[in-house]
Structure 1
Amino acid sequence: MHDQATVLRKMASRQNVKPAGLRIISVTSGKGGVGKTNFTVNLALSLVDFGYRVIILDGDLGLANIDIACGITPHFTLEHLLSGEKTIEEILITGPKGLGILPGGSGVQDLANIERANLENVIRNLGRLEGMADILMIDTGAGLGHTVMNFLKASDDVILLTTPEPTAVTDAYGILKALRSDDKEVLVNVVINRVHREADAKATFERLEKAVNKFLHGSVNLLGWVYEDPLVGKAIMNQEPLGVTYPDSSAYRCIQWIAGSVSGLYLQPPRKAGGIRGFLTRLLRPF
């Protein structure tokens, strides 16, 4: 694994690079229980450390828990914005290190089915995120739900989290298969979580990559891996992110390394960021 010095060199290499528009990155997993929400929060915090302004949209409709991971309590959610009761500024919460959090609630599903009468208000409110952040990260629900797949296809970049467990890898492949179902190329960046050795991470990725190459005639990119670390569980119990409670832990150092690679998306992006308007256009296309 790259060491801390490598991360710092990557930080230095992008200090003067400014993102061209708000970039939307969805983090997903084929199954629950692989550590997706904690990874999302800590990746966001690492990117904040790198100098980016980051906002997380809690997009897990059934188990919205970004706020729990950060030890904060939301009073309003995306549902209040879609109904016109609140503005984007009123529902946005400031978390650790200035990280922005947009609680989703049932409004996440409603976002993919916006009534045209409310569309102008939603675009106007969400459009203000362009001036508030460089990156909008979406912590999607696990699995192949309709709302999850629409978020993934509408995002600029997708990060797929899995573990070496066979069921997790199988379900991750299911996500990739669903993304290829409409013959639209979506570049997916894979992170292997909870590994004991570098060799385990690489072997897991190779199994997934071979299946994608053989059966889907596509490709995936290994973004990095995160070591199994007992401090992750302690941070969860404390309801504080790992990057705040144990910033020197092995797991968080791995995530910092991955954040360095995510920063590289601005240096050589696979596709230009579409911003909020582009995201909503792609999200609403099926309707």
Structure 2
Amino acid sequence: MHDQATALRKMAIQKNPAHKGSLRVIAVTSGKGGVGKTNFTVNIALALIDMGYRVIILDGDLGLANVDIACGVTPHFTLEHLLSGEKTIEEILVYGPKGLGILPGGSGVQDLANIERANLENVIRNLGRLEGLTDILIIDTGAGLGHTVTNFLKAADDIILLTTPEPTALTDAYGMLKALSSDDPEDPEDPEDKKIKVNVVVNRVAQETDARLTFERLENAVHKFLHGSVSLLGWVYEDPSVGKAIMNQEPLAIAYPTSSAYRCIQWIAGSVSGLYLAPPRKAAGIRGFLTQLLRR
């Protein structure tokens, strides 16, 4: 495991020694709850930190915000305090294992997705400082197909869609893809507005074959009914260590770094790192993210 992490870190640093360039925003979604989205988000963030990246997670789940719980930290302020002007970005940021930054969302997440123009200058000034604080901003979106979720997904640079082999999870993942493909067509006047690219991760699989079959079912449905495409980013094996880590309120990366599930996540992090080193579209930074969000 240590050899693998070292090799991934060296590869990332060799290709991009100073991690220069605009901050990139990646959104993790699932279409439904209960598929392990938050656990995956926290652990891939920690794997990316091991590769030399600075990472901050924005907890985007309105009703069940639990990134802080998964990391064993207690935030005192949320994004709502930033939007109201009471606190700065530095004051609401809390730090977890390995220096992982966490932006507690609360009800402020919905306010950010529907931000009032009067508050825009203050928000841009504060969120703009994220450029100097992190290399990657990961949004742990809420479950479901609400506008807040889809707005964040469409504004992000990359999307990771987490699902499991269960038929209900697969159906909900398809529903999310359908919402993304039909709700907002491309803007012909914007040359940078390209088709949304979705990277799929299949969680809780017994073997590789299960993951590939699950992805093929989803891919065939997307191709046939949505006339689109998705990419298989990777899979995570079913592992009892995941449940133990959750019960202890400790990330898998810290509690069981040699577990089969975390090794899968490290491998996926290596692929994600490659995405950021050769992105499908130019990173526009936090201002670009807000611009896309406001356009929605």
**TM-score, normalised on structure 2?**
0.93
1-side partners of 2:181 and 2:64: how far apart?
26
Per the TM alignment, residue 62 of structure 1 is displaced from its structure 2 partner at its CA by 1.0
Cα displacement (A) at 1:12? 2.3
Rounded to whole Å, the distance in 2 between the matches of 1:266 and 1:78 is: 26
The secondary structure found in structure 2 opposite 1:239 is: coil
The aligned counterpart of 1:193 is 203
Aligned 8 A contact 1:4 1:257 in 2: no
Partner in structure 2 of residue 71 of structure 1:
72
Bigger mean CA offset, 163-172 vs 174-183: 174-183
Instruction: Give the 5 Å matches for 1:147-162.
Output: 147-162=148-163
CA distance in 2, matches of 1:104, 1:265: 26
Q: Kindly provide the amino acid, as one letter, of the partner of residue 69 in structure 1.
A: A
Residues 6, 205 of structure 1: alpha-carbon distance in 2 compared, 3 angstrom cutoff: farther
Superposition RMSD on alpha carbons, in Å? Answer: 1.3
Native 8 Å contact 2:8 2:51 kept in 1: no
How far 1:5 moved relative to its partner? 5.6
Q: Which runs of 5+ in 2 are unaligned?
A: 187-194
| Rounded Cα–Cα distance in structure 1 between residues aligned with 2:250 and 2:52 | 21
Change (3 A) 1:104 1:131: same
CA contact 2:32–2:143 (8 Å) conserved in 1: yes
AA aligned to 2:263 is: R
Q: Distance in 2 between matches of 1:36 and 1:19?
A: 28
Moved more, 52-61 or 9-18: 9-18
Q: Secondary structure at the match of 2:128?
A: helix
Q: Residue type matched to 2:231 in 1?
A: N
Residues 194-235 of structure 1 show CA distances to partners (whole Å, capped at 9, x for unaligned) of 000110000000000111111111111100000000010000
Q: Choose from 227, 231, 236 the match for 1:217.
A: 227
CA distance in 2, matches of 1:7, 1:164: 28
1:11 corresponds in structure 2 to 9
CA displacement, residues 103-146 of structure 1 (integer Å, 9 cap, x when unaligned): 00000000012221111000000000000000000000011011
Aligned to 1:205: 215
Give the alignment of 1:24-35 within 5 angstroms: 24-35=25-36
Tell me which moved more, 192-201 or 211-220.
211-220
Give the superposition deviation at 1:4.
7.3
1:266 to 276, 279, 283: 276
Aligned to 1:60: 61
* Alignment deviations for residues 63-104 of structure 1 (CA, whole Å, 9 cap, x no partner): 100011011111000000000000000000011000000000
Match of 2:108 in 1: 107
Task: Give the gaps of 5 or more residues in structure 1.
Answer: none
Equivalent residue number for residue 252 of structure 1: 262
TM value normalised by structure 1: 0.96
Q: Percent sequence identity over matched residues? A: 79
Equivalent residue for 1:283, pick from 269, 277, 293: 293
Tell me the residue number matched to 2:173.
172
Aligned to 1:234: 244
Partner of 1:138: 139
Task: Give the match for residue 189 of structure 2.
Answer: none
The answer to whether the Cα contact below 8 Å between 1:19 and 1:266 also exists between their aligned partners in 2 is no
User: Partner of 2:190 in structure 1?
Assistant: none
Contact 1:30 1:142 (C-alpha < 8 Å) held by counterparts: yes
Other-structure match for 1:37: 38
Task: Give the aligned length.
Answer: 284
| Deviation larger for 180-189 or 129-138 | 180-189
